[in-house]
Amino acid sequence: MSPDALMSVRQLSAAYGRQLACREISFELYPGEVICLVGESGSGKSTLLNTLAHRHRPASGEVIYRHARLGPVSLGALDEARLRELWRTDWGFVRQNPRDGLRMRISAGGNIGERLMALGERHYGRLRETAVEWLRLVEIDPQRIDDRPDTFSGGMQQRLQIARNLVTRPRLVFMDEPTSGLDVSVQARFLDLLRRLVAEMGLSVVLVTHDLGVARLLGHRILVMKEGQIVEQGLTDQVLDDPQHPYTQLLVTSVLAA
């Protein structure tokens, strides 16, 4: 692992039964860096994301993570308790469908406070203050703090998901197509917010998307996946402006110009 990398992925493979979904993926992620995984449906993007976070156990290979206290550790060697601690403190996980990432029957404030309560915060007043602060940061009216997320619009739900994940000030956030359920104008606003928070908090992000526009706007680097393998990787502009692999060329030319 290079000395300043946050995460180092080595020869990582993931399988569902005998079906290999990711083959020998290797890359490094640096602090403050946004990496976009692009590729068509079924190319193994989401599986790779889940395997990086060890929500899905890899079939082979390993992920080394620079733990805040323990230093570089192989995630496969961590026990369940340590992994869960990472999931809810040092990492965030933003899902494509907010129903998977939010508790729909719990108020917005409760959603934001959940991680803090898991970490032992037992002061109602302070939980409220933090929730209000985060609602402001993600541009949701703090008046809505006691409303349930199922009364929110799709864009608000995604922003609430962001708040719920960032409240513990994680260093690494995984995002699985966070914008694909949003219409274009809402998407633009969401991307602006995301870009601002990522820059302000110095977040590292691994973002799965099939939208090259999103990748262009947010990504520092891009990994192009096809049939479970990385077929091309490089700086976003470089890959999108001068694609080398035939599949990337196809992908870039398939974008509809407005």
Partner 1 sequence: MSQAGYNFAYLDEHTKRMIRRALLKAVAIPGYQVPFGSREMPLPYGWGTGGIQVTAAIIGRDDVLKVIDQGSDDTTNAVNIRSFFARVAGVATTERTREATLIQTRHRIPETPLAAGQVIVFQVPIPEPLRWLEPRETETRSLHALADYGLMNVKLYEDIVRHGRIATTYDYPVEVNGRYLMRPSPIPKFDNPKMHRNPALQLFGAGREKRVYAVPPWTDVRSLDFEDHPFAIERWDHACGLCGASDSYLDELITDDAGTRLHVCSDTEYCAARRAAGHQGDAP
Contact 38, 251 (CB under 8 A): yes
- Helices 154-166, 108-118: inter-axial angle, 10-degree rounding: 20
**How many whole angstroms from its chain centre is CA 2?**
22
Residues 6+ apart with CB under 8 A from 13: 20, 22, 23, 24, 25, 58, 59, 60, 61
CB-wise, 113 or 155, nearer to partner 1? Answer: 113
Binding mask 161-180 for partner 1 (x = CB under 8 A): --------------------
Burial class (CB in 10 A: 0-12, 13-18, 19+), 142: middle
Residue 121 to residues 14, 88, 90, 106, Cα–Cα distance (Å): 36, 14, 17, 17
Stretch that binds partner 1, among 100-108, 162-170, 173-181, 208-216 (CB under 8 A): 100-108
Residue 72 tokens, joined: 């570089």
CB-wise, 93 or 190, nearer to partner 1? Answer: 93
Residue 151 in the binding site for partner 1 (CB under 8 A) = no
Give least dist CB 137 to partner 1, A: 20
Stretch that binds partner 1, among 4-12, 57-65, 101-109, 166-174 (CB under 8 A): 101-109
Q: What is the DSSP letter of 87?
A: I
CB-wise, 1 or 118, nearer to partner 1? Answer: 118
Find tokens 């196809």 and name the residue: 250
Stretch that binds partner 1, among 55-63, 114-122, 196-204, 233-241 (CB under 8 A): 114-122
Q: How many residues bind partner 1 (CB under 8 A)?
A: 21
Residue 146 in the binding site for partner 1 (CB under 8 A) = yes
Q: Give the strands of the sheet with 221-226, arranged side by side.
A: 91-94, 172-176, 204-208, 34-38, 221-226, 229-235
Residues 39-98 that bind partner 1 (CB under 8 A): 80-81, 84
Residues 116-145 that bind partner 1 (CB under 8 A): 117-120, 122-125, 127
Give least dist CB 15 to partner 1, A: 21
Give least dist CB 127 to partner 1, A: 7
Return residues touching partner 1 (CB under 8 A).
80-81, 84, 103, 106-107, 109-110, 113-115, 117-120, 122-125, 127, 146
